A and B are shown apart, each in its own frame.
Chain A
Amino acid sequence: MNKILKYVIFDIVQNKIVLLYTFFLLVLSLSIFSLENNSAKGLLSLLNIVLIIVPLICIIFSTIYIYNSAEFIELLVSQPVKRKTIWLSIFSGLSISLSLAFFVGVCIPVLIYHADTTGMMMMATGLFLTVVFVSIAMLAAGITRDKAKGIGLAILFWLYFSLIFDALVLFFLFQFQDYPLEKVMVFLSFLNPIDLARIQILLQMDISALMGYTGAVFREFFGTYTGIIISFIGLICWIIVPLLISLSIFKRKDL
């Protein structure tokens, strides 16, 4: 495992897009913090980057990378190496290098300008979202052999989690307006890693107070240590489940 992981990381780190991504995040974070005279507001601007840009870049880059590694995978599969090892090495390599990019690009500026619990939560959820979307990319690339279709699927996944799912929730909310939906909302948020991350960050910013009873229900659940742990277990599930599905697909895949 380690041997192959070494080559995957070696390969990705050389990749100009990852360097560009790191640089882009770094410039963005630094400029947000230095332009906003109020670092709390800077953090709020950073929220959109963590919730939208990071998943998008992670899923698309990872999908493309997996397709571009088809030769590498083919070469390895004919060697005395377990397929599981190959797949997990690619996953780990992507996760580690993209997390590293996020760490340098976002975590370091946050640590410099806003190292409180909100900042910590943003760093933690950002890192988790990075890995979650690598995992989903593995799934997208596993589902179809066709590169164009795979990238399309990856974009669709991203669109679903960042937009379509929330639109459906909104639709659902209006359909069942007359029922108490607070607890249902807590459940629904577990169905989308981006929502889960966003709610955790916002709760650290104590924005729940804005929303009266719903806010109270949310804080009661997500705000406690148990709630935070359960949320992160939710995020871990979002890493493991797509990865395992993609692994079982890969194990049966013809190369």
Chain B
Amino acid sequence: MIIIKDLIKRFGDLKALFGVSLTFSNGECVALLGPNGSGKTTLIKSILGMVVPDSGTISFNEESINGNWMYRQKIGYMPQIGHYPENMTIANIIDMMKDIRKGSHNHHDEELIKSFGLHTMLHKKMRTLSGGTTQKVSASLAFLFNPDVLILDEPTAGLDPLASEILKQKILKEKKNGKLILITSHILSELDDLITEVAYMQDGNLVFHKKIAALREETGEQRLAKAITTIMKLDPS
């Protein structure tokens, strides 16, 4: 589905990605883990075409994304911190997104809008919203077009436990629909029961990419957080 090869990205003197290669397949729910500044967000933004890598290739359904933009029709993206035009209302934003993606997506999945209760505050301007509500908008937009791939950057950060749970249920549901779901996070425990694969990054390098079952087997730990700490001790490369 998504194949990343030897991705290198520098920001000035700072090297964000050191030749990362990864493959993500349909039906998986991948946790992209790693400490702050490890290159997770850069990797995600590279897949989205928001960051242009210095070298290496990314292909989406066997097609290079370089210079391509159509593939983004199949992606729903929820940014870590959503930035939206301040003067627009929630309704404006949703309508605009529907308008922009009209043609390719005429069926809209508005489940999250309702379950988050956003439909009661559609007239509110983006600048008046709390961080959590903004995240709810971001999440709703990511799922709105029923995309094949969902990329969620720290989805639960800033969400209250109730909203977190709603989102989690939604992710589970979509996973069952055979979608590829890519989640970055550093709060591990919440995601335990969602994840099928873990990719761990550190300082711009991919440390490992393993099925969760294999990980548990290797470490003998059931809890993901524990499993990872264990493997880091075993394999400190």
Contact = CB atoms under 8 A, between A and B. Distances in A.
Given A78-B77, A78-B79, A83-B69, A71 B52 contact: no
Interface stretch (A3-11, A42-50, A111-119, A231-239): A3-11
B218 interface: no
Interface in B87-137: 87-88, 96-97, 99-102, 104
Q: Give the interface residue-count category, chain B.
A: 20 to 34
Contacts of B176: none
Nearest to B99: A3
Nearest to A72: B85
A74 B73 contact: no
Interface in B43-71: 45, 48-52, 69-71
Q: Choose among A6, A70, A72, A80 the residue with the greatest number of B CB atoms under 10 Å from its CB.
A: A80
A71 B85 contact: yes
B73 A254 contact: no
B143 to A, nearest CB: 14
A69 B85 contact: yes
Contact of A79 (B45, B86, B101): B101
A203 interface: no
A74 B50 CA distance: 8
Interface string A58-89: 00000000000111101111111111000000
A80 B45 contact: no
Contact of A14 (B75, B87, B102): B87
B80 to A, nearest CB: 11
Interface string A112-145: 0000000000000000000000000000000000
A181 interface: no
Contacts, number: 65
B207 to A, nearest CB: 24
B15 interface: no
Contacts of B5: none
B50 A77 contact: yes
A254 to B, nearest CB: 4
B72 interface: yes
A252 B52 contact: yes
Contacts of B100: 3-4, 76, 79-81
B50 A72 contact: no
Contacts of A77: 48-50
A78 B83 contact: no
B84 interface: yes
Interface string A194-220: 000000000000000000000000000
A80 B50 contact: no
A255 interface: yes
Given A80-B73, A83-B69, A254 B50 contact: yes
Contacts of B99: 3, 6
A40 B211 CA distance: 81
Contacts of A7: 96
Interface in B16-58: 45, 48-52
Nearest to B88: A11
Given A76-B100, A79-B97, A11 B79 contact: no
A1 to B, nearest CB: 11
Contacts of A79: 72, 97, 100-101
A62 B158 CA distance: 34
Given A76-B100, A78-B77, A80-B75, 16 more contacts: A3-B102, A4-B100, A14-B87, A71-B84, A71-B86, A72-B84, A75-B82, A77-B49, A78-B49, A78-B75, A79-B97, A79-B101, A83-B69, A252-B52, A254-B52, A255-B51
3 A-B pairs with the lowest CB-CB distances in the bound complex, closest first: A71-B83, A80-B72, A80-B73
Interface of A: 3-4, 6-7, 11, 14, 69-72, 74-83, 252-255
24 contacts: A3-B99, A6-B99, A11-B85, A72-B84, A72-B85, A74-B50, A76-B100, A77-B48, A77-B49, A77-B50, A78-B49, A78-B75, A79-B97, A80-B72, A80-B75, A80-B100, A80-B104, A81-B72, A82-B69, A83-B69, A254-B11, A254-B45, A254-B50, A254-B51
